[in-house]
A and B are shown apart, each in its own frame.
Chain A
Amino acid sequence: MAVVKYINLYFKLIGAGVRAQLQYRFAFIMRIIGMLTAYTGTAVTMWVMLYQFQTLGDWNFYEMLFLLALAIVSWGFCIILFFHFRSLDTYILNGTFDRFLVRPINPFFHFMAMKFEVSSLGQFIFSVVVLAWVSVELQIDWTFTKALFLIGAIIGGVLIQGGLLVIISALAFWTTKSEQFYWVAMYPARNLTYYPLMIYPKLLQWVTAFVIPFGFVNYFPSTVILEKETPFFPDAIGYFSPVVGLLFFILSYFIWMQGLKRYKSTGS
């Protein structure tokens, strides 16, 4: 019954975390407003861009909003579960990482359950409103299978982005740096996915499909739901999103555990 024990423990740990964060209610609300402003800014930029040109590739404004919303909804879950992984370097440098090793539970699990970011409410408000609006504008026919596929795609997106955050944090075991890698690699890469992948050079498309599988977070699933063509890739590639997510996350877990073996306390 180890799994049940772990699930109970997870909710106990995050329950404490959530209560702690809600102590600062004003900060909490300001963070949500900030997120909403930032994403609305991206949407407005897209609108201005397409004011003269109408389409980017063969994507119109509403289709691009769909793409953006799908990226942001899975990022919202990702923030809740994994965003604090990027700051593993701070824990290692301060020597506070040791406490995750001296307790009788899996250190990966313990580190994951240590924090539960509640501020991602902003992401959810934005993406739900946008998805609803776009569904009406594009007359998306939400059948049961389509809705199920959307959920699968979101889970895939969470696992891919979460996996990448885990790999980035694992870099701290070798280099004692991780937060910077997030801002150098993952932040720009996430920005790339706000626009349809088909507009980028072929090499970059290939990398985002098969090396760092960002394409499976929102672009490939969106082409399935919106029934759009995917130049250079098979049409049904979007259906693989959950599988890719699962495999990528397992891989990142192993990389993290491998890094953990190398870990030596700074002793401070």
Chain B
Amino acid sequence: MGQLNMYWTFTKKAFLRSSVYRFEVWSRTGSNLIFLVMWGSIWTALYAGKEEAAGVSFTAMLTYIVVSKFLDGVNEAGTPLWDIQEKVRTGDISLELMRPFDVPLRYLFADFGSVAFYMLTALLPIYFLLFLFMDLTLPTDGFTWIYFILSAFLGFLIRYCVEMTFGLLTFFLVETGGIEDIFYFAMSLLSGSVIPLWFFPGWLETIALYLPFQSIFFLPISIFIGEINGSQIFTSLGIQFFWLVVCYLILRLVWNRASHKVVVQGG
């Protein structure tokens, strides 16, 4: 219990710290909305007035993009990849190793705080208005909402584990040029954040289905717009849970290796 209280403190501190950086909130919201307009326009132009494509209605597709940009905002409010890399490069992370807490967990709980602040002050009000004034579809029953929130939360945790793992690779490779670009590419395309997997060529869809990235955007949003329904929902949640366990174990493994490496280098 005491443990949990300690991590909870990090959440509260991060929440309060975010409230100091107002400009951050404005700027992040600004660029989030630009990307929303961009992808909204692209999909409007791709459908070109057609009611549906590949069995998916235009309204559902537009909802897909709006929810995707919302989740984008949620996921980007946490500690970004370059920040983790910077902490490793400058050696700041070694100071954290001396303290009596688990570093990956501490960052996760801090992220909860900054995400909560960003959601309350920017994302939820803005996207509430968007859903009010745009022609979008909402889940009709309460259970879908619950499954969506659960699925999105699992996706958030998976994204956290993957991003942290990529960040920790800095311990082993001082220069990470290509690595982070692979991460960003996978995050944008293979996760289905801008193009849903059902529009992929068959072979690429198969690849994406066997990777963890689809859990971050594609699965939760598909639940939201009802493309995944009935018993499929539980299969999807099962897949996400499986990937969460795998990604968490990989993160642990890399973290153990990395923290030993610090000792060898002498910090």
Residues of A at the B interface (CB closer than 8 Å) are: 26-27, 29-35, 37-38, 41, 44-45, 48-49, 51-53, 56-57, 177, 180-181, 183-185, 187-189, 191-192, 195, 199-201, 204
Contact = CB atoms under 8 A, between A and B. Distances in A.
A70 B140 CA distance: 46
B195 A45 contact: yes
B238 to A, nearest CB: 27
11 contacts: A31-B177, A41-B181, A41-B189, A45-B188, A51-B200, A53-B199, A57-B45, A188-B35, A195-B38, A204-B37, A204-B41
Contact of B44 (A34, A185, A189, A199): A199
Given A188-B30, A188-B34, A200-B38, 14 more contacts: A30-B176, A34-B181, A45-B189, A45-B194, A48-B204, A49-B199, A52-B54, A184-B27, A184-B28, A184-B30, A187-B31, A188-B38, A195-B41, A201-B37
Nearest to B45: A199
A67 to B, nearest CB: 13
Contacts of B177: 27, 29-34
A53 B27 contact: no
Contacts, number: 98
Nearest to A180: B27
Given A180-B23, A195-B42, A33 B34 contact: no
B38 A56 contact: no
Contacts of B175: 26-27, 30-31
Report whether over half of chain A's contact residues are helix, strand or loop; otherwise say mixed: helix
B4 to A, nearest CB: 35
A53 B30 CA distance: 29
Across the A-B interface, the 10 shortest Cβ-Cβ residue pairs: A30-B177, A34-B177, A41-B185, A199-B45, A184-B27, A188-B34, A37-B181, A33-B178, A30-B175, A38-B181
Contacts of A44: 185, 189
A195 B39 CA distance: 10
A44 to B, nearest CB: 7
Interface string B212-239: 0000000000000000000000000000
A174 to B, nearest CB: 14
Contacts of B44: 199
Contacts of A188: 30-31, 34-35, 38
B54 to A, nearest CB: 6
B24 to A, nearest CB: 8
B43 to A, nearest CB: 9
B72 interface: no
A30 B181 CA distance: 11
B195 A37 contact: no
A201 B182 CA distance: 32
Interface string B150-177: 0000000000000000000000000111
Contact of A192 (B38, B45, B188): B38
A29 B31 CA distance: 30
Contacts of A201: 37, 41
A63 B201 CA distance: 21
B27 A183 contact: yes
A117 B195 CA distance: 34
A189 B34 contact: yes
Contact of B42 (A35, A48, A199, A204): A199
A180 B23 CA distance: 9
A56 B38 CA distance: 13
B201 A49 contact: no
Contacts of B53: 52-53
A18 B181 CA distance: 24
Nearest to A199: B45
B145 interface: no
Nearest to A33: B178
B181 A56 contact: no
B163 to A, nearest CB: 17
Nearest to A200: B41
Contacts of A26: 175
A35 B180 CA distance: 10
Contacts of B185: 37-38, 41, 44
A199 B35 contact: no
Most buried by A among B37, B41, B46, B200: B41
Interface string B15-57: 0000000011001101100110110011011100000011000
B178 A185 contact: no
Contacts of B101: none
A53 B54 CA distance: 10
B131 interface: no
Nearest to A50: B46
Most buried by A among B28, B44, B189: B189
